[in-house]
């Protein structure tokens, strides 16, 4: 039987309904417990605690207080992070999404970490208050941390003096792994408030023809029985389509993000997780990002296993499975193999995320492969074509994956295997998969 793990809390497993009623409060009362100068951690994206957010904003404006919030995947429609409230809060994030849009306000700070270190980073800030959004409780009083449940770590929840739970009965309940990490018991909360709110869906991104071509090259590298990691977007959807059409068998999934394309592969029997060494028989991931079809398929489904991000992205755990194939996007790569997946020059665009963790974990896996994918070129706002394979990264550009760790690179023109290649051999291999309009220029720059 699962047992709550938060220090100092004792569950009345049969009387949780009485505890729920006793802990139930208003958003305003919950916000009033926040002190000037407090450090908070808060749920992200679809799990953002909107009722608490609005109440905290009013509380800080009324009292003149200021707080630090640590989180990631910040939604754009928050009260707290509106421009007129920039003097009330400093937001620290280790991954930019909505954050990059709001960053010009000046109160958003980027924290360079791997996603697996999210819990350690949050704990290092010594949060006094943790605010999470959960599903409605089940018959035993357990609430699922649901879609974005891995954004506030169990480590931070254990450390916080005050834990506030916003209960949204429209969030789906997902199966954990026989542990309390991804579930939260009513008895572990200090305050509960209810906010039945529609959950934002992320519909599948349409697949472009260029992504289908890249995905076709990638699918050829995926063998039957492989444990695959891929994320969101048109390329991920295209990879899923190609894996299905190629007739792949007995694939497994361990990943950061379980997206809608996983549903198709599981329904077709392409993914059955039968050959995995960890979470055998189950698709393992930290986040569920997709539409209602994904949620309905994954809700209470024992074929899934939700884990915290520190587990899914730990390269040592990744490598415990054989034949791991990790597939990650890149923004650009230089001719030595240095990969940028997070910045436009010195401007932070996304984050380090889990790319390097998956690159290493896949290569440490017996029979594993790491693949970094990108379109060979892009057009700027004026319509001018530019290569994404460049002689050198521009000054200030962040290196997400160092050249020493890069294995396969895929574009629509093919796949380059850079591992154990000399600098000149790497340049020639990358030039061969660059857009044809830039190959001569790149060869001159490389002197090959």
Residue 211: phi and psi, rounded to 5, are: -70, -35
The reply to whether 256 belongs to the active site is yes
Listed in sequence order, the residues at least 6 apart from 312 whose beta carbon sits closer than 8 Å to its beta carbon are: 116, 150, 254, 255, 256, 284, 285, 286, 318
* Separation between Cα atoms, residue 235 and residue 433, nearest integer Å: 17
Q: What is the rounded radius of gyration, in angstroms, for the C-alpha atoms of the chain?
A: 23
* Separation between Cα atoms, residue 157 and residue 128, nearest integer Å: 10
In the sheet with 129-134, reading across from the earlier edge strand, the strands are 108-110, 89-93, 67-71, 39-42, 129-134, 162-167, 191-194
CB 164 within 8 A of CB 191: yes
Closest CA to 222 of 275, 258, 260: 275
Residue found by looking up tokens 């390329």 in the block: 235
Closest CA to 179 of 392, 434, 3, 48: 3
* Separation between Cα atoms, residue 368 and residue 129, nearest integer Å: 41
Geometric angle at alpha carbon 228, from 226 and 229, rounded to 5°: 160
Catalytic residue among 99, 166, 188, 256: 256
* Separation between Cα atoms, residue 70 and residue 66, nearest integer Å: 14
Listed in sequence order, the residues at least 6 apart from 235 whose beta carbon sits closer than 8 Å to its beta carbon are: 211, 214, 215, 327, 329, 373
DSSP bridge partners of 108: 91
* Separation between Cα atoms, residue 108 and residue 422, nearest integer Å: 41
* Separation between Cα atoms, residue 59 and residue 29, nearest integer Å: 10
3-state secondary structure of 365: coil
Catalytic residues: 256
């Amino acid at each position: 039987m699962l047992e709550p793990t938060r220090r100092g809390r004792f569950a009345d497993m049969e009387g949780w309904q009485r505890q729920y009623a006793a802990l139930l409060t208003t958003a305003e009362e919950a916000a009033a417990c926040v002190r000037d100068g407090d450090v908070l951690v808060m749920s992200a994206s679809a799990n953002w605690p909107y009722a608490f957010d609005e109440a905290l904003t009013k509380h800080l404006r009324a009292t003149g207080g200021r707080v630090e919030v640590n989180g990631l995947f910040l939604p754009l429609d928050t009260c707290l992070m509106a421009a007129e409230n920039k003097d009330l809060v400093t937001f620290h994030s280790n991954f930019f999404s909505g954050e990059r849009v709001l960053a010009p306000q000046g109160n958003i700070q980027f924290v360079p970490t791997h996603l697996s270190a999210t819990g350690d980073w949050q704990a290092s800030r010594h949060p006094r208050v943790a605010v999470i959004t959960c599903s409605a409780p089940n018959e035993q009083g357990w609430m699922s941390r649901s879609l974005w449940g891995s954004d506030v770590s169990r480590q931070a929840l254990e450390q916080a003096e005050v834990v506030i739970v916003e209960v949204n009965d429209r969030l789906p309940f997902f199966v954990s792994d026989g542990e309390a990490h991804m579930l939260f018991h009513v008895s572990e909360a200090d305050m509960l408030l209810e906010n039945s709110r529609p959950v934002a869906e992320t519909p599948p991104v349409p697949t472009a023809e260029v992504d289908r071509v890249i995905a076709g090259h990638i699918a050829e590298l995926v063998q039957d029985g492989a444990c695959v990691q891929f994320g969101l977007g048109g390329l991920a959807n295209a990879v899923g389509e190609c894996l299905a059409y190629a007739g792949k068998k007995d694939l497994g999934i361990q990943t950061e993000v379980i997206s809608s394309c996983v549903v198709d592969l599981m329904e077709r029997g392409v993914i059955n997780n039968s050959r995995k060494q960890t979470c055998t028989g189950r698709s393992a991931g930290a986040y569920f990002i997709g539409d209602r079809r994904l949620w309905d398929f994954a809700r209470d489904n024992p074929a899934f296993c939700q884990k915290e991000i520190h587990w899914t992205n730990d390269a040592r755990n990744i490598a415990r499975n054989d034949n791991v194939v990790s597939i990650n996007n890149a923004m650009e790569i230089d001719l030595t193999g240095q990969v940028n997946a997070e910045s436009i020059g010195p401007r932070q665009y996304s984050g380090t995320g889990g790319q390097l963790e998956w690159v290493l974990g896949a290569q440490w896996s017996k029979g594993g492969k790491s693949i970094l994918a990108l379109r060979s070129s892009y057009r700027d706002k004026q319509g001018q074509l530019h290569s994404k394979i460049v002689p050198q990264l521009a000054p200030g550009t962040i290196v997400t994956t160092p050249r020493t760790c890069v294995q396969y690179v895929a574009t629509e023109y093919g796949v380059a295997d850079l591992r154990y290649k000399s600098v000149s051999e790497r340049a020639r291999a990358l030039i061969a998969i660059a857009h044809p309009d830039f190959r001569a220029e790149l060869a001159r720059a490389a002197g090959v």
